[in-house]
Amino acid sequence: MVGEAGLFLFAALVAVVSLFTMIYFIIKLTDLEDYGGNLLSVCETLDKLVLPEYGLHAFLTFLFFLYRDWFPLLANSILVGYNVVTLLKLRQQNRKKLFNPTSIFGEIPRLKSECFVKMALYMLSFFYYIYRMVFALVE
């Protein structure tokens, strides 16, 4: 089925983009932790990538719902739910940005561990999507 193979090809590409985004986040946070750097520019750069990452992941989850592929839908819904809770907490605190330059140094260990967990999830999902794409092409 070409539609299913196309879906999993798109999902693998989304996983690669998300994986490299998490690697970029980790590099920026580590540089900020080690060398200080310009807090304002780092926070603005990272904030520009947060909403597109959340939106792309939510769109991918919606596509899994449309194709009625339940295991990837369930696996991705957990992360989408976490992202929605994060955005709701920001709204509750009347903040528009995830990365606050005044308090980022206290949040760096938590943010880095969050990025590592997301990176592991994206890596596992990438290999699963490649497997499912090949399986759909062989059928």
Q: Is the dihedral of CA 89, 12, 124, 76 positive or negative?
A: positive
pTM of the predicted model, to two decimals? 0.89
CA 52 to chain centre: 9
Alpha-carbon dihedral sign for residues 44, 46, 49, 55? negative
- 22 with 118: CB under 8 angstroms? yes
Phi, psi of 108 (to 5 degrees): -60, -45
Domain positions in the chain are 2-138
pLDDT tens digits, one per residue of 103-121: 888 888 999 999 999 999 9
Half-sphere exposure of 91 (CA within 13 A, CB side): 6
Q: Please write the tens of the pLDDT for every residue from 44-54.
A: 888 899 999 99
